[in-house]
Structure 1
Amino acid sequence: MAATSLVLDSRAGRSLQAQLSEALRKAIEAGRLAPGTRLLSTRALAEQLDLSRNTVLNAYSRLLSEGYLVGRLGSGTYVASELPERPHATRRARAPHAGAASPPPDISRRGRAIAQLPDLRIAAPGIPASQMAFRMGTPAVDAFPSDLWGRLLHTRWRRSWGDLLGRSEPAGHPALRRAVADYLATSRGVRCVPEQVLIVNGAQQAMSLAAQVLLDPGESAWVEDPGYFAGRGALVAGGATLVPVPVDAEGLDVAEGARLAPDARLAIVTPAHQFPLGVAMGEPRRRALLDWAARANAWIVEDDYDSEFRYVGRPLQALQGFSPDARVIYIGTFSKVVSPALRVGYLVAPEPLVDAFTAARRFSDGYTPVAEQAVLADFITEGHFSRHVRRMRVLYGQRQEALLEAARRELGGRLELAPLHTGMHLVGWLPEGMDDRVAAERAIQAGVMVMPLSAFRVRSTGRGALLLGYAAVREERMADCVRLLARALR
């Protein structure tokens, strides 16, 4: 459908964004935009209609949230194959598309919103994703202390196999809760006792529990923009109204969040190492965030996903430890520190919320497998975990430097990389005007799994970039992997 068939009136009493949303919605319902139709890019439509790109972005975002549009990574925005129910709307037949997944027509609005979230799991044909370089969030599995872990498992099984075959408490294995509380107090400055620690199946489940316990459907929640996709997914699954808050050099812009939604009930943040941009939230901004939560009677979910890997100075203190009465739910995971196969994370809840979180865990999936918890408790209490973190900190620092050195030789003018003091990935900025989704798709076809920054944006715009996870790439492979990326970007 040509942009000229969309009639907007700047003198009307309604905003241009609302007019554009309605015009596109009517075109879809009338069949002028058929299911599966690829829409113009936001930039192209903005130019044709003489609108700001933000106006078009917000209109598309609204139709995405309503289920009229779907986004596909590296491909664009399309009319949904199955449209949401509306009074007097005509039902449409499904239009099959490669890779498209449409929800059935009889699920809830919340279920439809979950189903329409884009799937970022992509792999090149014939290449297992686990073998692709630069995969995000993957630690150095090649450096996992497998022999030690095997001995600990054997010893634990010999000593207490009967206990390992039984059920665990919903809040977790007591020995692991004590070990996590001690570790967080000494390494992250978290204020807690073991009774406040809940063991969960990874950070994703912790976020889902937080949304379930703290939010009623329709209530507003701040999310970083760009930000962690799984956090947004947990809130959508909980029925929350997302409020994308921009991120600057100091992390989440608290003043802008308070302007956009001062009465939000929750904020998910990554203050020690913002995902995906890598910036750290300074103390004034942290104080402002805590003050907002106290004034608004809101909660902060602190996702501390990889702060152990700080290469300059000591790790930053957790936001949760700034005040004894901080309204913070602290989340961490062992998946990125030990192994992605170890689906064990933890949640530190303020004492008044412990019973509610425990009950929510009981009625979700009950508990985390006992054997993994028991062995992990031994791994921590015997000092192996701290030594492993120290070794990985050195190794990841070396691998980051190897990536930067290879990039200086192979990627000049194509990708701008700068070192980061924390974490397991770098942000590579593309030349102005280059589409990062297209660049990521070509890189994946070449055999290296980079992610486009735009995949983690909601409303924010700006220069395209690629995210490169380097922790799992051996130094001797780094140069060859960077050459594959350089070839793809040509």
Structure 2
Amino acid sequence: MPKPTPHIPLPNIQLNANASTPLRHQLYEQLARAIRTGHLTPGTRLPSTRAFARELGVSRTTVEEAYLDLYAEGYIEGQVGAGTYVTQHLSQSHLHMATTPDELMSPDQALSGQANLSQRGKLLAATPPIPGFCSGETGSPFRIGLPALDSFPQQEWARMVAQAIRQLPPSHLCYPDLEGYRPLREEIAAYITISRGVRCTADQVIVIAGAQVGLSLAARLLLDVDDAAWIEDPGYPWVRVAFEEAGANLVPVPIDEEGMDVATGKARCPDARIAYVTPSHQFPLGVTMSLARRYELLHWARQAGAWIIEDDYDSEYRYIGRPIPALQGLEGAERVLYLGTFSKVLFPALRLGYIVVPPTLVNAFVTAQRTVNALPPTLEQAALAMYMREGHFARHIRRMRLLYARRGNILRDCARHFLGDMLTIEQPAAGLHLVGWFPEGIDDREMACNAERYGITALPLSAYRIEEKGRNGVLLGYSSWTEREIEEGMQSLARAWSSR
């Protein structure tokens, strides 16, 4: 007969399924804080994982993983069948952590601390979590924006790194070049010229520590306070952060089947200073900007004296037809800055990207790199240059293109099988995620919360909108999940939404 779980004075656990922090981390943090502050005293018995999960309305796995983290940190102890208890003899380090500023600070003190921030600091501190872009481990199905890390050739990459450190001359062990490692810039220029139709030389390529650095540099150099900036709606949320930090006024421009609606942008703010677009594979809807719209956008920029930032974040992955040439390569694209990243092609922790800027802006961007103080290390740049030069990069893309096309089709087929008319998903044409569309009247945020309770990440499309209009749906990443994980994840999603 199972032992009854005693009622204990548990702290007020509040889990937010809409937060970017996974539920298990939220539970771990709140229990650890309760132990540190003495709300849960040494020797207190915790509920069983099954009972606790039922009480919180989460999966049992969520509680088990939180308990494992507490075990690892020495907060709790116990044996299978004997119960789980708060550790009898907490170390001094645990007790001193009681103790964190947030735990000791009164609301008035917290407000006072906020008051000491600059206006820009207050804006950054108040920025809500960006859905789907948390750091840490891969998380739960179907998190977006991750390549197939299980299929990355680590041994091959390790050989490149080892070879690079042996071949780098001592002079390259000094501080990195502001514009980036010259051989890598040459490889990037050659690659995007052939594969994307970009018109540039290596002198226009600036290596950066991720695409966000490129956005921040462009915002600092091209925007003054109160300048207007067109952004796609729905769109990539981090561009809002970069532009708002620069003091810009955001102008949401709707997306239709041809991409950014340039006519609406001109009607709302014809004299905007910047337009940010993802024309090859719009984030998050996945549409491709038509040729007519591309030329309309270029004509507007030329007439308005505006700049265009083209974010080509995952253009390598197109499964139907040929890859769409870059906007930057068209006639009349002299005012386009082209942004690329290796995070989706190789792995995010590499933190390497690049921005191709018009010749007149090169010196300004190179100088601004010094102020960012986030120069990518030369060793990784040298290894990547070698990886590209020896053909490994192109082969890896070909392998991943086949893998992702297969996983995307499996996701679509599983959605149709397990969810039926609940979710409409088209065949994947490009990218690393799909949009699942709900029937009219369904709240995608509520559906996302239900999915999170079953350990599934189904990000609500409405979270990426500025204007609250448009059809509701969810974003489902498939690139980093095996066929079995996709099928099991869809089964969990069907259970989550059938019980709503």
Among candidates 439, 452, 463, match of residue 444 of structure 1 = 452
Query: What's the % identity of the aligned pairs?
Result: 47
For 1:239 and 1:277, locate their aligned partners in 2 and report how far apart those are by CA, in whole Å.
27
Among candidates 122, 129, 143, match of residue 119 of structure 1 = 129
Alpha carbons 1:429, 1:463 under 8 Å: kept = yes
Aligned residue runs from structure 1 range 255-266, under 5 A: 255-266=263-274
Cα distance change on mapping 1:195 and 1:277 into 2, 3 Å: same
The residue that corresponds to 1:229 in the other structure is 237
One-letter amino acid of the counterpart of residue 308, structure 2: I
The residue that corresponds to 1:323 in the other structure is 331
Give yes or no for the alignment of 1:148 onto 2:156. Answer: yes
Among candidates 148, 158, 182, match of residue 174 of structure 1 = 182
One-letter amino acid of the counterpart of residue 110, structure 1: R
Alpha carbons 1:224, 1:268 under 8 Å: kept = yes
Structure 2 SS opposite 1:357: helix
One-letter amino acid of the counterpart of residue 216, structure 1: D
For 2:112 and 2:388, locate their aligned partners in 1 and report how far apart those are by CA, in whole Å.
44
The Cα offsets for residues 17-54 of structure 1, whole Å up to 9 and x where unpaired, read as: xxxxxxxxxxxxxxxxxxxxxxxxxxxxxxxxxxxxxx
The residue that corresponds to 1:50 in the other structure is none
Shift of 1:164: 5.1
Shift of 1:366: 5.2
For 2:212 and 2:449, locate their aligned partners in 1 and report how far apart those are by CA, in whole Å.
26
Structure 1 SS opposite 2:488: helix
Alpha carbons 2:132, 2:143 under 8 Å: kept = no
The residue that corresponds to 1:189 in the other structure is 197
Shift of 1:287: 0.3
Give yes or no for the alignment of 1:110 onto 2:120. Answer: yes
The residue that corresponds to 1:365 in the other structure is 373
Among candidates 202, 212, 215, match of residue 220 of structure 2 = 212
For 2:400 and 2:339, locate their aligned partners in 1 and report how far apart those are by CA, in whole Å.
21
The Cα offsets for residues 355-375 of structure 1, whole Å up to 9 and x where unpaired, read as: 011111111115211111010
One-letter amino acid of the counterpart of residue 439, structure 1: M
Q: Which runs of 5+ in 1 are unaligned?
A: 1-92
One-letter amino acid of the counterpart of residue 303, structure 2: R
Shift of 1:238: 1.2
Among candidates 287, 295, 304, match of residue 296 of structure 1 = 304
For 1:102 and 1:252, locate their aligned partners in 2 and report how far apart those are by CA, in whole Å.
42
For 2:491 and 2:209, locate their aligned partners in 1 and report how far apart those are by CA, in whole Å.
37
The residue that corresponds to 2:94 in the other structure is none
Alpha carbons 1:278, 1:420 under 8 Å: kept = no
- The structure that has the greater radius of gyration is 2
For 1:102 and 1:269, locate their aligned partners in 2 and report how far apart those are by CA, in whole Å.
39
For 1:447 and 1:265, locate their aligned partners in 2 and report how far apart those are by CA, in whole Å.
43
- Over aligned residues, Cα RMSD in angstroms? 2.2
For 1:373 and 1:391, locate their aligned partners in 2 and report how far apart those are by CA, in whole Å.
22
For 2:463 and 2:220, locate their aligned partners in 1 and report how far apart those are by CA, in whole Å.
25
One-letter amino acid of the counterpart of residue 408, structure 2: Q
Among candidates 471, 474, 493, match of residue 466 of structure 1 = 474
The residue that corresponds to 2:251 in the other structure is 243
Alpha carbons 1:414, 1:486 under 8 Å: kept = no
Q: Which runs of 5+ in 2 are unaligned?
A: 1-105
The residue that corresponds to 2:6 in the other structure is none
Shift of 1:261: 0.4
Shift of 1:120: 2.6
Cα distance change on mapping 1:103 and 1:262 into 2, 3 Å: farther
The Cα offsets for residues 390-444 of structure 1, whole Å up to 9 and x where unpaired, read as: 1111000000011111111101122111123110100001222221112112212
Cα distance change on mapping 1:113 and 1:187 into 2, 3 Å: same
Alpha carbons 2:298, 2:332 under 8 Å: kept = no
Aligned residue runs from structure 1 range 390-401, under 5 A: 390-401=398-409
Q: Indicate the larger mover: 473-482 or 218-227.
A: 473-482
For 1:131 and 1:102, locate their aligned partners in 2 and report how far apart those are by CA, in whole Å.
36
Q: Indicate the larger mover: 369-378 or 108-117.
A: 108-117
The residue that corresponds to 2:491 in the other structure is 483
Normalising by structure 1, report the TM-score.
0.77
Among candidates 281, 295, 306, match of residue 287 of structure 1 = 295
Shift of 1:112: 2.4
Cα distance change on mapping 1:101 and 1:426 into 2, 3 Å: farther
The residue that corresponds to 2:429 in the other structure is 421
For 2:136 and 2:213, locate their aligned partners in 1 and report how far apart those are by CA, in whole Å.
26
Cα distance change on mapping 1:120 and 1:192 into 2, 3 Å: same
Shift of 1:165: 3.0
The Cα offsets for residues 302-340 of structure 1, whole Å up to 9 and x where unpaired, read as: 000001000112210000000265210000000011001
Alpha carbons 1:201, 1:344 under 8 Å: kept = yes
Alpha carbons 1:252, 1:269 under 8 Å: kept = yes
Structure 2 SS opposite 1:300: strand
For 1:303 and 1:454, locate their aligned partners in 2 and report how far apart those are by CA, in whole Å.
21
Shift of 1:102: 11
Give the paired residue count.
393
For 1:162 and 1:217, locate their aligned partners in 2 and report how far apart those are by CA, in whole Å.
43
Cα distance change on mapping 1:440 and 1:123 into 2, 3 Å: farther
Alpha carbons 2:210, 2:352 under 8 Å: kept = yes
Alpha carbons 1:157, 1:164 under 8 Å: kept = no
Alpha carbons 2:432, 2:477 under 8 Å: kept = yes
